[in-house]
Amino acid sequence: MHATVTDHRAEVAVLHLRGELDADTAGQLHATLAGLLERPVPRIVVDLTALKFCDSIGLSAFIVSKQVIASRGGWLSFAGADPFLAQLLETVGLSRYFAIFPEVDDAIAAARI
């Protein structure tokens, strides 16, 4: 997995994920998220457009981060998931805790800042 971060509107970080997110690459995601959680109010859009695979260990990084994000008044949303990944997010219940958008621009536009 390859992760890059871009900033939009100065307050929103977009985390672009590419490749496969699994037990072998989850550490990299944890490290990247840790950096984003250093922000006073973490507002993160996770771009899943180029993510080809994700397992439960990968998803757990987002769940673990949720408490920190919520305690600081921030949010995390997902965007651009392919049909398989969108169904996975729904099945494991993440759609109840995180907003899921069809496109990154939709998630940025919906940002409550």
Cα(103)–Cα(101) distance, integer angstroms: 6
Beta bridge partners of 21: 54
The Cα-based distances of 10 to 18, 41, 55, 100 in angstroms read 23, 12, 31, 21
Extents of the domains making up the chain: 2-111
User: In this model, does residue 101 exceed pLDDT 80?
Assistant: yes
Question: How much is the pLDDT for 3?
Answer: 95
Domain 2-111: top CATH class: alpha beta
41 pLDDT band, cuts 50/70/90, is confident
- Above 70 in pLDDT, residue 59? yes
Which pTM value belongs to this model? 0.92
Chain centroid to CA 26: 13
pLDDT tens readout for residues 10-25: 689 999 999 999 999 9
